[in-house]
Structure 1
Amino acid sequence: MWNHFDTNGTPRTNNNLEGYNLKLNIHLSIASADIFKLISKLKIEEVDASLKYFRSAKNEKPPTRNKLYVINDAILLNQKQG
């Protein structure tokens, strides 16, 4: 936790990026995917991102986080305060 002492709300790792990359690779499922399949997937991703943006603009509650990440954030906050 020492290297994340000044981290405030931003991801502490690049796991979110690795997860997105894995999801994209699984969807395309072959090394040289068809360009139309890629464009279709990117359109779906754009719609998902737009929905997340509009939900956050309307101050809707985000989906619940993984319990482990909530615990890690609480430990880090406790270390900062102590």
Structure 2
Amino acid sequence: MAGLRKVEYIMSQRGTPQILLDEYLYNRNRERQSSTHWRCVIKTCTGRCTTNDDILRNQTEHNHPPYMVFNWVDDDARFPLPLWNHHETEGPRTNNSLEGFHCRLNQSLPHSHPNIFWFMEVIRRIEHAERSKLVQVNFGAAPPSRKRVYREIDNQIIRLKDHLRLGQKTPVQFLDAVGHLLKLA
């Protein structure tokens, strides 16, 4: 099952080495002379592997689906699909507006740890400005328009979703087209 493959290491959040191999994540179990023994991060799993000088020597079977499927894709995944997937979203695909607000808030503060009174004053100014924008929109003012390029991308994604829904494109064709559209590939 395992050939002579070089393994790549990643660091866990706690700073310990891990390896990601065939979509399974392993923690270091023990080291002996030149061999390092690894075990699957799922405690109840029987999946193990051994490396010698960054070369995979052997690997055993797992009793669960791969990491991505287990955490993100399955029906009973750790992070359910509606939590992170925006396929059916008709609106912003990013949190850029929140990032922009955070940047403007930081710029309006005199330094990184202002006193509470200065912070409250900045928040009051922001609230006043946002209320003014809401009043204008409520009285019929048009909200600021998005750039044409982003409106066109949104329209093309909506068309691609329709083709997927109608069966005119397979999921792989859909993902390929969206990746090309967003310049991911």
Question: Same fold judged by TM-score > 0.5?
Answer: yes
Shift of 1:38: 1.4
SS at match of 1:4: coil
Identify the residue that residue 143 of structure 2 maps to in structure 1. 62
Identify the residue that residue 5 of structure 1 maps to in structure 2. 87
Structure 1 length as normaliser, TM-score?
0.76
Contact 1:5 1:76 in 2 (8 A): no
- C-alpha RMSD over aligned residues: 1.8
**Higher normalized strand content (fraction of residues):** 2
Larger radius of gyration: 2
User: Any unmatched runs of 5+ in structure 2?
Assistant: 1-84, 164-185
Q: Which amino acid aligns with 1:32?
A: H
- The structure 1 segments of at least 4 consecutive aligned residues displaced by more than 6 Å after TM superposition are none
Q: Which amino acid aligns with 1:74?
A: N
SS at match of 2:101: helix
Q: Distance in 2 between matches of 1:62 and 1:68?
A: 17
User: Any unmatched runs of 5+ in structure 1?
Assistant: none
**Residues 2-30 of structure 1: CA deviation (Å, up to 9, x unaligned):** x5331113x21111111111111111141
Identify the residue that residue 46 of structure 2 maps to in structure 1. none
Identity of aligned residues (%): 32
Contact 1:56 1:62 in 2 (8 A): yes
**Residues 28-64 of structure 1: CA deviation (Å, up to 9, x unaligned):** 1412113232122111111121112212222321112
Q: 1:29 to 1:68 in 2, by over 3 A?
A: farther
The alignment status of 1:81 with 2:162, answered yes or no, reads yes
**Higher normalized helix content (fraction of residues):** 1
Shift of 1:68: 3.4
Q: Which amino acid aligns with 2:90?
A: N
Identify the residue that residue 35 of structure 1 maps to in structure 2. 116
